Every structure is written in C-alpha cells, then in structure tokens.
Structure 1
Amino acid sequence: MNKRDVVFPAGRQALYERNRYSPAIRSDGFLFVSGQVGSREDGSPEPELSAQVRRAFDNLNAILQAAGCTFDDVIDVTVFIVDPEANFDTIWNVLPDYWGSAPYPTLTGIGVTWLYGFQFEIKVIAKLPRTDASAA
C-alpha cells in the first residue's frame, strides 16, 4: 500500500495530529480535503456564525494553498449546516467573498444536528494543477 500524501497547512499540524486525521490527501491528480470548520488556532470555534464561516474558508484556503491550489481548483463541495433553516441566509451572504465566479463547483448541502460545537463545515475535492513533471 502506498503511503498517504498528506498536506498540512502551516501552523496547524499539531491540531490535526491531536484529533487524528489528515487535513488533506493528494491522490491521482486530486486533493481530498477533510471538513473544515471555523476553528481558531487552538481549535475552539469562532462564536459568531459569519465569522465562523469566514474562518472555515480561511482554514480551507490555507490547505488549498499548501497543496498549490486555490478555490478555483475546487470541483466538488459538501457543506454541513446546523439548523439550516435559521442559518442558511447568514452563511450564503458570506459565500460570494470566497466562492469566485461561474462556473461554480458542484454543491451538496446537508443539514445536521451537531458539529462538535460548530455551526458550519465545508469539505471539498480539488483538481491539482498540472506540473511540468506530471504533464510528461
């Protein structure tokens, strides 16, 4: 079995090791990113929802950047929202600051009852940019 090609964002490796999961794995030209929440450096949630969503995207973008990607490389998105009926509008008002322009990635939205103290989580699959070595 091949060893997993893990991507760690700067400064957060201890948090992922403590929680026993990888932030992202490179495989066959794709980047599979674990769900990202609006956690501060110590792992605690941002208390206000729009700040939590912004922090989740910032955490996601740090992982994408560590892998040589941007959100423009994202092809599939899954979001998890606690109490989507109450929180959807707040979350969707933040998205344009991070989402980019059309064509947009695919999206699956899932309403959940619990996210370990968070209200929003985003996980993505991105296409890794081709390098000269991978084009050969």
Structure 2
Amino acid sequence: MTVRDVVFPPGRQALYEKNRYSPAVRSDGFLFVSGQVGSREDGSPEPELGAQVRRAFDNLNAILSAAHCSFDDVVDVTVFMVDPESHFERIWSVVQEYWGEAPHPTVTAVGVTWLYGFQFEIKVIARIPESGMG
C-alpha cells in the first residue's frame, strides 16, 4: 500500500484528525485539496455568507501555502453552494477577490441542499511548482 503524502495547514491538524480526512494529498506533481468551508479554528461556521466564503479561501490558501503552492497554481476548482439561486451573485463577488488574473482555472459549480451547516465549499487541484515537490 502506498502511503499518502498528506499536507496539513498550520494549527488545524486536530480538526482534520477529529473528522478523519486529509486536508490535501500530494500525488504525481499535483495537490488534491479536500473541500474547504468557512470554518473557524474550532470548526464552527462563520455566520455571515461573505465572511464564510472569505474564510473558506483563507483555509484553502493555508493548505496551498503549506504545500508551497498558491492559488496561481490551481488548475481545477469545484465549488458547492447551498441555494445557489439566492447566493450565487454574493458568493461570486467574493470569489473574485481571490481568483487573480486570467487565465483562470477550470470551474464547476454545484448546487447542493446541505453542507454540514455551511453555505459554500471549495475544492481544488493544483499543480505543485518544481520548487515545492517533495
């Protein structure tokens, strides 16, 4: 069995261990990041939608940074939204603060009915720069 090369962001390993999943796994030059939500340090959701989206990106960026990546290295994005008909415009206005310049990564947006008390989740695949391999 191959041992997974797991990446943990600083200060949140206990939360991932409690919930029994890896925040990200390096494999063949790519970083596969689990869905990130707008959770505070204790795992509870940010109550306001815009703050929740920002916190999700901050959590994502902490994982990318721990793997020596940035959002510029992201090639594929999947976002999940509860009630996208009502929330899409608000969420997308915040997303643009983090998205960077074109060319942008691919994106798939999925409307869902439940996200464990959250309204937004983002998962990505990033190409690890040569300097970040290992």
Tell me which stretches of 4 or more aligned residues in structure 1 moved more than 2 Å: 131-134
1: CA distance between counterparts of 2:66 and 2:47? 27
Report the TM-score when normalising by structure 2.
0.97
Equivalent residues in 2 for 1:1-136, closer than 5 Å: 1-131=1-131
- AA partner of residue 30 (structure 1): F
* Cα pair distance change 1:132/1:61, threshold 3 Å: closer
1: CA distance between counterparts of 2:102 and 2:17? 36
2: CA distance between counterparts of 1:73 and 1:17? 26
2: CA distance between counterparts of 1:41 and 1:133? 28
2: CA distance between counterparts of 1:66 and 1:57? 14
Q: Secondary structure at the match of 2:60?
A: helix
The Cα shift of 1:131 comes to: 2.9
CA RMSD of aligned residues (A): 1.3
* Cα pair distance change 1:22/1:85, threshold 3 Å: same
Segments of structure 1 that go 5 or more residues without pairing to the other structure are none
1: CA distance between counterparts of 2:44 and 2:84? 21
Segments of structure 2 that go 5 or more residues without pairing to the other structure are none
CA deviations 1:30-75 (Å, max 9, x no partner) are 0000000000000000000000000000000000000000000000
- AA partner of residue 121 (structure 2): E
Identity of aligned residues (%): 77
1: CA distance between counterparts of 2:41 and 2:92? 24
Report the TM-score when normalising by structure 1.
0.96
Q: Is the 8 A contact 2:68 2:132 kept in 1?
A: no
